[in-house]
Amino acid sequence: MSGQAKSLPPTPLLADYKLRSGVADELFDASGAMRPAWTAFMAQLAKLSPEEVAERFARGDRYLRDAGVFFRQYSADPLQEREWPLSHIPVILHERDWDAICAGLTQRAELLERVVADLYGDCTLVRDGHLPAALVAQNPEWHRPLVGMKPASGHFLHLIAFEIGRSPDGSWLVLGDRTQSPSGAGFALENRMATARVFPEPVPRANVRRLAGFFRAFRGALDDLGRNGGRAAILSPGPGNDTYFEHTYVARYLGLPLLEGEDLIVQNGTVQVRTVSGPQDVGVLWRRLDTGYADPLELDETSQIGTPGLVDAVRQGRVNIVNALGSGILETRAFLAFLPQISEVLLGEKLKMPNIATWWCGQDSERSFVQDNAGKMFIGDALSRALPFDIGNADGLAGTAQTLAGDALGTWIEANAANLVGQETVTLSTTPAWIEDRLLPRPMSVRVFAARTAQGWVFLPGGYARVGRTEEAGALSMQQGGSVADVWIMCDRPAPPETLFDNERFRREDTGALPSRAADNLFWLGRYVERAEGAIRLLRGYHLRLAETGDPDDDSVQQISNLLAALFVDVGAPAHATLTPMLGSARLSAGRVRDRFSVDGWAALTDLMTSLDAMSANIQPGDECARQLGILLRKITGFNGLVHENMHRTSGWRFLTLGRAMERADAAAAVLTACMAGDVPGLGLLDMALEYGDSRITHQRRYRVDPTWETVGDLLALDANNPRSVLFQVTAMRRIAQDLPRAQVAGRVSDVLGALLRLETQLVVAHPSDITIACLTDIRAALADISAKLASAYLN
């Protein structure tokens, strides 16, 4: 490599970086000289020892892990999460190249807007023969209930992305358009944060364009779209989606509520979110779910994640959706065959940046061409929306897959012509990837995001490239092990700093009422964590007793195991098996409101699960098990502390705390009941109850007698100062209920508050001798009634 010597001293890093003929490269130009945008970065990298590089990469990975960045791998386990596969070496493009790319894509964005407006409008493209009718009429993304619909804002497209690659001659081309609900902009931010930890030096980073300005512009555009109709929100398909992390991340970053279909109702043509304060208008939805799922009433009737009536609200112009429902049709692979000509028809211009050459086999001459050149082509489903390197099983890459089906290639094409397209197999440019302590060239494509603003299309300057695992283009797919790199747009002088916020226009935002579904999940998170904590305490008590006696058949040990059985805790099962469902439910609830969690809170919960998983199934009962349970207990206390010390006292905190208090009050009553019911003198159940209540020492100090049911009942049911007593928790709930929305209407207290006041008074005036099994049963029934009232007033 001649150019290498010119630009920087020979470095062992590039010893194996072999350029291939017929393949463009990002680091070196066609003459073999290093591209100027890279020189400062490479000089910096060359100064590092392999150990230093490894240490820096680990820093970046740690950042991603701590931030909880993941994507979901579609596999047998639907909720399997994978760590974000960062390729630590950024892709670097000079701003001159970048600006040319953006100019080409601005034209394309305009073209796509015109095409989708025509497809849901007069269909002149079909009528005039520029687009075959079959590709629209048989397209699953052409949604008939939306035909004739005009977006309230006047535009279909607001946030789109383009997958682009560099072809062997060095020019850029579009591999695919992403108009449905493009993902990756949030991941781009995380790529940037992680890469900044790997390469913190101001040179050359100071010259790299910042990302925040794009998000500020997009956030402003969303606010503008909602100006007349209500606030903006993100509509997510939920935690099962592969990019759910990004939805939560972007929601937090932009300060938008993260909603799911069941959060929304349509009333009098208006979209509203169900909140603990009643329904509130929503004017803009940034949707992250495909059109078909959005409304089971008029779109896919089997959708469980949609909102009935959403299509009708759109038709009545009462909500702006980003991007408009139906926009996904522009991703259709076969459209790439027709867009170059459509550009000349609709814009009167040739495409500034070509797209990947594509031929629809439904046309005779195109079919013959594909037949004749099948060996050099990718052949696949015409109506697919997949990108060229996301190759499905039914597709024929260079004449391989269809032989599996037993058909000759020609017969296969002939029989399925209208459903097939041929696409040239593009050899994408390579970029440096760090593999086994050195740099190797790997294929890459760049994802470019564009947002419509009042000032026109604005582009996210870099942030997201896919890098192949091997030299094959198909290896770009993340599901197949490809990785993702930051993209730096390198300027000749320092880039101006950018922030998300427009500091000139500071204002305190109303964060909006808590959605009922989020409140429900927080309430149950509080309950499940508390339930797990209670179970851990009881189990630890059992194992300590077992360690003392060393005999599982000992009467006192047996008695406790019976008590635990009455509380649905089976001491025969491994502790791990008992606790996993409880903490699993807690994590599931937490996962549904992840946008409301601090990074630390989520990390603490993850840490708790990891410790639980690490608890061996065949751990020795007795001392060892008690010790391990003690560790879990401290971690759960840590989580609770984090939540209660740091969470803002908003509605979210209130419902989480209500859940915890409800569970704690009920468990205290349940433990007392079970102890009383199982009591045989001398077997230590009184001690067990005290231990559960963490109240042994208090009891000794306070009563100066051996525990009796009266003293224990006083301490665990009626003591207003004992945080483990029923009364203490009921009082806590009553205080919170006073601050809930609609706690008092026209001078009357709400059902929830009324029921809490009644129960609290009953406990305050009770005498310790009143605490019988019958009384405890009444208390538990009252608690269940309060829980039901809470659900019907706020959580449904």
Partner 1 sequence: MQYDIRLAIGYNYGAPSDRARTVVRLLPSNLPGQQRITARLLSVDPEPDERRDTTDFFGNAMSILSFHQPIDRIDFKLHARVERLAPAGSLDLSPNLAGLGAEIAAYRNLDSLSPHHFLGPSRRIGPEPEIAAFATSFHKPDQTVRQTVGALGQAIHSEMRFDPGATDVDTPPGEAFANRHGVCQDFSHVMIAALRALGIPAGYVSGFLRTIPPPGQPRLDGADAMHAWVMAWCGNETGWVEIDPTNNCFVEADHIVVAYGRDYADIAPVKGVLRTSGTQNSRHSVDVEPI
Strand partners, 545: none
Q: Is 300 one of the binding residues for partner 1 (CB under 8 A)?
A: yes
Q: How far is the CB of 317 from partner 1 (least distance, A)?
A: 14
CA–CA distance, 492 with 490 (Å, rounded to integer)? 7
Whose Cβ is closer to partner 1: residue 269's or residue 410's? 269
Residue among 20 and 144 whose Cβ is closer to partner 1:
144
Q: What is the 3-state secondary structure (H, E, C) of 185-250?
A: HHHHHHHHHHHHHHCCCHHHHCCECCCHHHHHHHHHHHHHHCCCCCEEEEEECCCCCCCHHHHHHH
Spell out, one character per residue from 306 to 345, where the chain touches partner 1: x when CB under 8 A holds, - when not.
--xx--x---------------------------------
**CA separation for the pair 716, 672 (Å, rounded):** 8
Using the minimum distance from each CB to partner 1, give the nearer residue, 146 or 632.
146
Work out whether 406 is an interface residue with partner 1 (CB under 8 A).
Answer: no
476 class by beta-carbon count within 10 Å (0-12 exposed, 13-18 middle, 19+ buried) = buried
Contact 583, 524 (CB under 8 A): no
Question: What is d(CA 551, CA 587) in angstroms, rounded to the nearest whole number?
Answer: 36
Q: What is the nearest approach in angstroms of partner 1 to the Cβ of residue 131?
A: 9
Is residue 393 at the binding interface for partner 1, with CB under 8 A as the rule?
no
Using the rule CB under 8 A, is 368 a contact of partner 1?
A: no
* Alpha-carbon span 205 to 41, nearest angstrom: 8
Of residues 297, 357, 749, 766, which one binds partner 1 by CB under 8 A?
Answer: 297
The CA radius of gyration of the chain, in Å to the nearest whole number, is 31
Tell me, by CB under 8 A, how many residues bind partner 1: 28
419 or 521: CB nearest partner 1: 419
3-state secondary structure of 752: helix
Closer to partner 1 by Cβ: residue 130 or 252: 130
Of 82, 80, 30, the residue nearest 61 (C-alpha)? 82
Minimum CB–partner distance for residue 117 and partner 1 (Å): 15
How many whole angstroms separate alpha carbon 254 and alpha carbon 219?
7
Binding mask 665-704 for partner 1 (x = CB under 8 A): ----------------------------------------
Distance (Å, whole) CA 320 – CA 327:
13
Burial of 227 per CB tally in 10 Å (0-12, 13-18, 19+): exposed
CB of 438 to partner 1, least distance (A): 51
- Binding part of the chain for partner 1, among 76-84, 120-128, 541-549, 733-741 by CB under 8 A, reads 120-128
Question: Please, are residues 477 and 187 in contact by the beta-carbon 8 Å criterion?
Answer: no
The set of residues, in sequence order, having a beta carbon less than 8 Å from that of 332 and lying 6+ positions away, is 135, 139, 141, 382, 383, 384, 385
Residue 1-40 contact track with partner 1, rule CB under 8 A, x = bound: ----------------------------------------
Q: Which is nearer to partner 1, 49 or 268 (CB)?
A: 268
Instruction: Name the minimum Å distance from CB 142 to partner 1.
Output: 9
Q: What is the DSSP letter of 363?
A: S
Q: Does 298 bind partner 1 (CB under 8 A)?
A: yes
Output 6 or 144, the one with its CB closest to partner 1: 144
Per-residue x/- mask for partner 1, residues 85 to 114, rule CB under 8 A?
------------------------------
Closer to partner 1 at the Cβ: 59 or 315? 315
CB 467 within 8 A of CB 444: yes
Nearer to partner 1 among residue 134 and residue 196 (C-beta): 134
Q: Which is nearer to partner 1, 148 or 392 (by Cβ)?
A: 148
Least distance in angstroms from the C-beta of 148 to partner 1: 8
- To partner 1, the closest distance from the beta carbon of 203 in angstroms equals 58
Q: What whole-number distance in Å separates Cα of residue 607 and Cα of residue 632?
A: 10
Query: For residues 280 and 425, which CB has a smaller minimum distance to partner 1 in the complex?
Result: 280
Bond prior to 10 in cis (omega within 30° of 0)? no
Residue whose CB is less far from partner 1, 269 or 494: 269
Site for partner 1 in 237-296 (CB under 8 A): 265-269, 296
Task: Pick the closer one to partner 1 by CB: 136 or 626.
Answer: 136
Task: Retrieve residue 522's tokens.
Answer: 């927080």
Residue 281, burial from CB neighbour count under 10 angstroms (0-12, 13-18, 19+): middle
Q: Which residues contact 733 (CB under 8 A, 6 or more apart)?
A: 658, 661, 662, 665, 756, 786
Stretch 145-164 residues interacting with partner 1 (CB under 8 A): 145, 147-148
List binders of partner 1 among 126-145 (CB under 8 A). 126-129, 133-134, 136-138, 144-145
Place of tokens 């880039």: 495
Half-sphere exposure of 198 (CA within 13 A, CB side): 25
Kindly state the smallest distance separating residue 332's Cβ from partner 1, in Å: 13
CB of 394 to partner 1, least distance (A): 13
- Per CB under 8 A, residues contacting partner 1 are 123, 126-129, 133-134, 136-138, 144-145, 147-148, 265-269, 296-298, 300-301, 308-309, 312, 796
